[in-house]
């Protein structure tokens, strides 16, 4: 065996390097170092190491990884040049791997962002197409009264509207009281607590009344639509309807859309009254504002704010109903899919409602309305 022949020995946790760890012996070193038991190494001995270049140092880093930096802290027998070369290679390779992992992290993030954008685009196109299909079906049935599903419409109005009155009224009453409390706390510093009435009136007539109602129905009604239609698809009831020559859009979607279009404005009006009532209770108990005085101030609010709030309701109702029904039709045929699309319908409905409300608020502010 030549003195320059490279190799290593591991004895009682001590790794002994010998020979020439250079590029000329790279292939042999690469094949032999694969059997090195890294977890057993506790110290490094280079007393019999003749020559070392970047190829040999790179091999040690590939096998030992970051442990090489730990071993170099108490290594023995290495010359100053060899120790400096190993440190430089180890630090350089460690920095390059960190940079590579960072680049991979950023590339993965960009890939996920692209997937989300593409998914949102496809969902928007699908929703637009479903909206057109629903409207065209509704127009085709408009002049055929015998095909109207009055019973189904009344049932859906009862479920979507009447059953939702208690929760809508209670929630908006509490939010109205909270807004009044906050307004009174801030305005008291300026001696203008009387303007708490205007704060509650403007906020509920323009924004909170319709927004809170739409969010509640997005969580309550959109999820119900998705679960109902998804369960029907899982049980192959939709296929049975088509086999009988019945249109699921006319039979299932239109009654739900029309029911929400009719009930959401009414629920919005109830929410406005409940919010104003909550502010009135706070004004009476904490601000010494009598109900007559409170009502007189509310009557001075321009009626256009009421119309703006009510005008948003049909648009929100249409989108909530369409998203709920569309997600129901997208169920693939399992209980897990029903749950996933139900969650998706709620998230999409709330997101769309808040987004459109923000856009409408900016537009109306720029128009001076």
- Going 304 to 309 to 207 to 117, the CA torsion angle's sign is negative
pLDDT of residue 1: 47
CA distance 273 to 309: 12
Residue 261: the pLDDT is 94
For residue 213, what are its two tokens? Answer: 């109602």
Q: Encode pLDDT of 302-339 as tens digits.
A: 999 999 999 999 999 999 999 999 998 888 877 788 88
Parse the chain into domains and list their residue ranges: 7-93, 149-367
8-state DSSP, 77 = S
pLDDT-based confidence at residue 179 (cuts at 50, 70, 90): very high
Q: Residue 357: what pLDDT? A: 92
> What pLDDT band is residue 114 in, cutting at 50, 70 and 90?
confident
Of 31 and 127, more confident: 127
Inter-residue contact 15 to 41 (CB < 8 Å): yes
Contact present, 359 and 322 (Cβ < 8 Å): no
Choice among 118-127, 196-205, 207-216, 345-354 with the minimum mean pLDDT: 118-127
Say whether pLDDT at 101 is over 70: no
Spatial distance between the Cα atoms of 258 and 165, rounded to a whole number of angstroms:
18
229-242 pLDDT, tens digit each: 988 888 888 888 88
Altogether, the residues listed in the chain come to a count of: 369
Express as a percent the part of the chain with pLDDT over 70. 89
Provide φ and ψ at 69, rounded to 5°.
Answer: -65, -35
**Distance, CA of 355 to CA of 366 (rounded, Å):** 17
Q: Looking at 14-28, 34-48, 160-174, 293-307, which range is the least confident one?
A: 34-48
What's residue 20's pLDDT?
77
Contacts of 108 (CB under 8 A, 6+ apart): none
Q: How far apart are CA 19 and CA 16, in angstroms?
A: 10
Task: Tell me the pLDDT of the chain averaged across its residues.
Answer: 84
| pLDDT reported for residue 364 | 87
Q: If DSSP codes are grouped into helix, strand and coil, which group holds residue 14?
A: strand
In angstroms, the Cα distances linking 158 to 155, 163, 326, 363 are: 5, 6, 22, 34
What are the residues facing 14 on neighbouring strands?
11, 43
Q: Which residue has the tokens 């009435």?
A: 197
Number of helices and strands in the chain (H, E)? 15, 3
Would the pLDDT of 201 be above 80? yes
Confidence (pTM): 0.68
pLDDT grade for 69, boundaries at 50, 70 and 90: low
Would you give the end-to-end CA distance of the chain in angstroms? 94
pLDDT at 146: 81
Angle at 363 between CA 302 and CA 309, to 5 degrees: 40
Bridge partners of residue 43, in order along the sequence? 14
The pLDDT value recorded for residue 93 is 67
pLDDT one-digit tens code per residue, 242-267: 888 888 888 899 999 999 999 999 99
Check if the beta carbon of residue 191 is closer than 8 Å to that of residue 258: no
* pLDDT at residue 174, as a whole number: 95
Q: Kindly calculate the radius of gyration of the chain based on its CA atoms and give it in whole angstroms.
A: 36
Residue 27 in this model has a pLDDT that exceeds 90: no
């Amino acid at each position: 065996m030549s003195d320059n022949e490279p190799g290593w020995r591991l004895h009682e946790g001590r790794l002994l390097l010998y020979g020439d760890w250079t590029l000329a012996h790279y292939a042999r070193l690469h094949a032999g170092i694969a059997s090195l038991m890294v977890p057993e190494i506790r110290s490094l001995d280079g007393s019999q190491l003749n020559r070392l270049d970047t190829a040999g140092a790179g091999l040690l880093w590939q096998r030992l990884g970051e442990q090489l930096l730990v071993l170099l802290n108490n290594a023995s027998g290495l010359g100053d040049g060899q120790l400096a070369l190993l440190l430089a290679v180890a630090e350089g390779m460690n920095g390059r791997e960190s940079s590579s992992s960072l680049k991979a992290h950023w590339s993965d993030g960009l890939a996920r962002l692209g997937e989300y954008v593409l998914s949102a685009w496809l969902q928007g196109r699908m929703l637009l197409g479903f909206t057109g299909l629903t409207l065209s079906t509704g127009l085709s049935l408009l002049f055929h009264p015998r095909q109207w599903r009055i019973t189904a419409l009344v049932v859906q109005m009862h479920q979507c509207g009447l059953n939702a009155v208690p929760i809508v009224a209670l929630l908006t009453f509490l939010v109205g009281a909270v807004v009044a409390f906050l307004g009174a706390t801030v305005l008291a510093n300026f001696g203008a607590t009387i303007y708490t009435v205007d704060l509650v009136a403007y906020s509920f007539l323009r924004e909170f009344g319709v927004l809170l109602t739409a969010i509640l129905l997005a969580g309550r009604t959109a999820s119900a639509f998705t679960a109902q239609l998804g369960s029907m698809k899982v049980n192959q009831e939709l296929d049975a309807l088509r086999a009988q020559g019945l249109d699921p859009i006319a039979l299932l979607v239109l009654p739900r859309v029309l029911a929400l279009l009719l009930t959401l404005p009414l629920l919005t009006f109830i929410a406005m009254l409940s919010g104003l009532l909550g502010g009135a209770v706070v004004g009476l108990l904490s601000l010494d504002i009598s109900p007559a005085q409170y009502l007189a101030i509310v009557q001075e609010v321009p009626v256009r704010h009421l119309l703006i709030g009510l005008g948003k309701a049909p648009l929100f109702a249409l989108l909530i109903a369409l998203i709920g029904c569309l997600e129901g039709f997208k169920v693939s045929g399992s209980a897990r899919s029903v749950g996933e699309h139900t969650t998706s319908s709620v998230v999409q409905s709330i997101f769309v409602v808040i987004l459109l409300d923000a856009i409408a608020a900016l537009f109306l502010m720029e128009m001076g309305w």
